[in-house]
């Protein structure tokens, strides 16, 4: 085999990006591209899995069998999203075990939103509406991301996220048609989640050093601020239809820009939460670690079973 020179490989990589074709795991890629993808996909996978906790908190206290079935299905979908994404990440030469260890030891992050507590059942609705809504804004452009396995995982995930958003909105709509107490519960929940939902798009563009390179590589297709704007424009009419107020005194329609003007989240709070000091960071990671430790025997049993199957298959093969 003749070794292909690196400049030639790099040119092939750049040409693939220019054609808007996908980069596949077997293709040569710059190490920094690989490292950026591992970081982003792992963070995304961890968010799906950690994201099961705030809502899982309400599974045993769902107000009806129907609500419980919907919530269970939603939380299980998130586990599935985590699995697709860990698999996509493994094609880059890492392993789920390594990624999980990095999550548990705090060396890899997950979305800041899941470090906020869920205090009422209305939060289940608000998370579906705002958090899954923000996730959709973030993730739809990722269906066209340059790395094949990531883009294909996102196509499937996005279909399920739409269901998540709708079940949340439908729950809030039902509560808004209920008693004054239920309406107050929805408003209180929206007040708590609005700003953390805006933070989900990451820091302002001026403060996001990796954005430019990720866009050049076709990993990211829109900047943080573009996506945040899109989310606000999409959500304002939904809030109106629902009958809730978004807790931003600056929020108004800007005729000139044909978009909403809105206030800035508390970026100091965002930095605190991202660096591990949010209301629930320690609890979320401790819970994930406990689940991982308690699952050790399942992993051991599955590995032993697979080895036994492989040995049996080899023996049968020998006899043939």
Residue 47: Cβ within 10 Å count: 21
C-beta of 5: minimal distance to Fe ion in Å? Answer: 42
CB nearer to Fe ion: pick between 97 and 159: 159
Site residues for Fe ion, window 267-296 (CB under 5 A)? Answer: none
Q: Which stretch binds Fe ion (CB under 5 A): 16-24, 60-68, 160-168, 302-310?
A: 160-168
Residue 248 is a binding residue for Fe ion (CB under 5 A): no
Cβ partners under 8 Å of residue 16, min gap 6: 22, 23, 27, 146
Residues 191-210 touching Fe ion, rule: CB under 5 A, are none
Nearer to Fe ion, 28 or 163 (CB): 163
C-beta separation of 34 from 100 below 8 A: no
SS3 147: strand
Work out whether 55 is an interface residue with Fe ion (CB under 5 A): no
Closest approach, Cβ 319 to Fe ion, in A, equals: 47
Of 122 and 157, which has the nearer Cβ to Fe ion? 157
**Which window, 89-97, 153-161, 194-202, 259-267, contacts Fe ion (CB under 5 A)?**
153-161
Closest distance of CB 81 from Fe ion, Å: 4
Q: Quickly count: other Cβ atoms within 10 Å of residue 103's Cβ.
A: 23
Distance in angstroms (rounded) separating the CA atoms of residues 121 and 105:
31
Of the listed pieces 19-27, 94-102, 104-112, 132-140, which binds Fe ion according to CB under 5 A? 132-140
The three-class DSSP label of residue 19 is: coil
Name the residue among 154, 236, 259, 224 with its Cα closest to residue 190: 236
161 vs 248, beta carbon nearer Fe ion: 161
Bridge partners of residue 23, in order along the sequence: 147
Site for Fe ion (CB under 5 A): how many residues?
6
Instruction: Provide, rounded to whole angstroms, the least separation between the CB of residue 127 and Fe ion.
Output: 8
Give the residue, chosen from 67, 164, 192, 260, that forms a contact with Fe ion under the rule CB under 5 A: 164
Handedness of CA 141, 144, 148, 152 (dihedral sign): positive
Task: Output the smallest distance, CB 132 to Fe ion, in A.
Answer: 4
Rounded to an integer, what is the distance from CA 87 to the centroid of its chain?
15
Task: Single out the residue of 55, 90, 132, 248 in contact with Fe ion (rule: CB under 5 A).
Answer: 132
Cβ neighbours of 92 (radius 10 Å): 18
Stretch that binds Fe ion, among 29-37, 104-112, 130-138, 192-200 (CB under 5 A): 130-138
Q: Which stretch binds Fe ion (CB under 5 A): 35-43, 72-80, 250-258, 276-284?
A: 72-80
Backbone angles phi, psi at 114, to 5 degrees: -80, 5
The size of the chain, in residues, is: 320
**Distance separating the N- and C-terminal Cα atoms of the chain:** 35
Which value, to the nearest 10 degrees, does the dihedral of the CA atoms of residues 212, 215, 159, 82 take? -70
**Contact status: 81 vs Fe ion (CB under 5 A):** yes
Binding stretches for Fe ion (CB under 5 A): 48, 78, 81, 132, 161, 164
């Amino acid at each position: 085999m003749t070794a292909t020179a690196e400049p030639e490989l790099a040119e092939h990589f750049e040409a693939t990006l220019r054609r808007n074709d996908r980069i596949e795991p077997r293709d040569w890629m710059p190490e920094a591209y690989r490292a950026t993808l591992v970081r982003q996909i792992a963070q995304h996978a961890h968010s799906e899995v950690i994201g099961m906790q705030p809502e899982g908190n309400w599974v045993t206290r769902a107000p009806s069998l129907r609500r419980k079935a919907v919530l269970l299905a939603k939380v299980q979908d998130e586990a599935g999203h985590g699995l697709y994404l860990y698999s996509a990440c493994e094609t880059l030469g890492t392993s789920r075990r390594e990624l999980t260890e990095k999550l548990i030891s705090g060396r890899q992050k997950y979305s800041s939103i899941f470090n906020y507590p869920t205090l009422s059942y209305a939060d289940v609705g608000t998370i579906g509406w705002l958090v899954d809504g923000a996730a959709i804004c973030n993730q739809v452009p990722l269906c066209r991301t340059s790395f094949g396995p990531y883009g294909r995982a996102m196509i499937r995930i996005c279909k399920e996220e739409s269901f998540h958003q709708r079940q949340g909105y439908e729950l809030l709509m039902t509560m808004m048609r209920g008693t004054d107490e239920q309406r107050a519960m929805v408003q209180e929940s929206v007040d708590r989640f609005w700003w953390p939902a805006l933070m989900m798009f990451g820091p302002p563009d001026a403060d996001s050093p990796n954005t430019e390179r990720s866009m050049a590589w076709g990993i990211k297709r829109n900047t943080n601020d573009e996506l945040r704007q899109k989310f606000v424009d999409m959500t304002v009419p939904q809030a109106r239809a629902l009958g809730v107020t978004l807790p931003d005194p600056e929020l108004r329609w800007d005729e000139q820009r044909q978009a909403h003007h809105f206030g800035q989240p508390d970026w100091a709070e965002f930095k605190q939460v991202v660096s591990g000091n949010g209301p629930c960071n320690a609890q979320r990671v401790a819970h994930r670690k406990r689940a991982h430790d308690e699952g050790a025997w399942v992993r051991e049993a599955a590995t032993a079973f697979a080895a036994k199957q492989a040995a049996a298959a080899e023996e049968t093969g020998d006899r043939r």
